[in-house]
Structure 1
């Protein structure tokens, strides 16, 4: 759920990394096809159809929670990446921060692309650190969207301190940070979409200033002017199943 109604908001761009010791002229797709041809990997077959028959491209775009890739990798900010192309991230883009901001085709194996659907470890720790310094962090709610849990019939909301979010992320593959989390007093709101490579944080002007000043978080202001998101009152007034599920927003 992406809601408006706060004083200010900013996008936290999910982290990406670069390893200059790896070839920048070989894409993830080329590398995968080479390993399949060499017999190191097998093609992915689903219902008798191969996902490696040339009709699909291995882009290198990750999904879900990720963290620093390890030795040899350094942080590559979005601004640094776009500066190499003589561009400014987000300028004239019709969509929120996502793979659509970047060039088509597969990524080079030397770049670890910012993952979709979840805050990364470095950004999540920095964000929680900023939020922990605010009184509202002691009583928060955490909501995982259905796409991240695979459960489309039940809505489950967890409660705890904002620092408890790391317990919800869990261990292993296929994990996500909560799609939404917010304090009981509704003074701020965090929104992570399954298909986006950034997380939107809404709240007071001083909170947004603190996020923008953080040395670890990479932030960006982006709003689509012709399609503003609905405010809480508008969404709650909708006589639909979705609106009824949003009843926890009522004060």
Structure 2
């Protein structure tokens, strides 16, 4: 079945209960509180198998620009003056926004804990959320080594999304038939007037990753009975899963998901 047929648009009111739980979501996704347990799935990063280099993503960008190899600007998509000036001097960090996945041959999965251990620091510092404040020694000037594909912002990586859906399927009493809803925040949809909510089955949730009308996995995905919620903030490098203790333990124990509890989060 086509993903647009499997997931039908429903009134935005369906997400009101999440808005009430997190009224200050700032259009980037609703963060649900621990209900009763929670874990964060860290978005995957990758390292070039032949080793790290001191050249950064910004160095590569500057070299390509200096050589005149960048794509010419599209006059029809010209950036407004003030924003354009800001972007002109911006550092290219290497961090993507939206969908991501394994880069292919020559790259290996680099665990957050492995990189953090090398620097003698925690993967996520106390009091922080998974995001740009993490692993600072790996990008001290803002840009990552060109031999690392850092975690994507705003969307769980493809492989972890598929794996997480598999865990949810095993821990939902109705399995593939579990009725679910998916909310996409305005930063994904660019629709600031109406809440975008889709309804479908958990068995069809893996396909949401490539929904043709969206640039990301859902900002929130939840079972209709609200027994579990998956939350992916557009500004973060981690995805929060809340639900029963058995589900959260399964997420934490899954060898293909890099997950951890952040007790200072609600």
TM-score, shorter chain, exceeding 0.5: yes
The whole-number CA distance in structure 2 between the counterparts of 1:71 and 1:102 is 25
Deviation at 1:172, TM superposition (A): 7.4
Whether 1:14 and 2:51 are equivalent positions in the alignment is: no
The whole-number CA distance in structure 2 between the counterparts of 1:215 and 1:41 is 40
The whole-number CA distance in structure 2 between the counterparts of 1:26 and 1:43 is 24
The whole-number CA distance in structure 2 between the counterparts of 1:43 and 1:25 is 28
Q: Report the TM-score, using the length of structure 1 for normalisation.
A: 0.82
Equivalent in 84, 90, 101 of residue 56 of structure 1? 90
The whole-number CA distance in structure 2 between the counterparts of 1:172 and 1:185 is 27
Matches within 5 A, 1:1-251: 1-21=30-50, 24-42=53-71, 46-48=79-81, 49-50=84-85, 53=88, 55-92=89-126, 94-103=127-136, 104=140, 105-133=142-170, 134-137=172-175, 138-170=178-210, 175-224=215-264, 228=266
Aligned 8 A contact 2:189 2:214 in 1: no
* SS in structure 1 of the partner of residue 133 of structure 2: helix
5+ residue gaps in structure 1? Answer: 229-251
Aligned 8 A contact 2:182 2:221 in 1: yes
The whole-number CA distance in structure 1 between the counterparts of 2:191 and 2:234 is 14
Aligned 8 A contact 1:65 1:174 in 2: no
Aligned 8 A contact 1:43 1:50 in 2: no
Deviation at 1:186, TM superposition (A): 1.1
Aligned 8 A contact 2:47 2:107 in 1: yes
The whole-number CA distance in structure 2 between the counterparts of 1:106 and 1:186 is 39
The whole-number CA distance in structure 1 between the counterparts of 2:143 and 2:199 is 40
* SS in structure 2 of the partner of residue 31 of structure 1: helix
The structure-2 alpha-carbon separation of the partners of 1:62 and 1:196, relative to structure 1 and needing over 3 Å to count, comes to same
Q: Report the TM-score, using the length of structure 2 for normalisation.
A: 0.78
5+ residue gaps in structure 2? Answer: 1-29
Aligned 8 A contact 2:124 2:135 in 1: no
* SS in structure 1 of the partner of residue 117 of structure 2: helix
Deviation at 1:167, TM superposition (A): 3.0
The whole-number CA distance in structure 2 between the counterparts of 1:114 and 1:159 is 28
* SS in structure 2 of the partner of residue 168 of structure 1: helix
Deviation at 1:95, TM superposition (A): 2.6
- Taking only aligned residues, the RMSD between alpha carbons, in angstroms, comes to 2.2
* SS in structure 2 of the partner of residue 128 of structure 1: helix
Deviation at 1:141, TM superposition (A): 0.8
Higher deviation after alignment, 70-79 or 23-32: 23-32
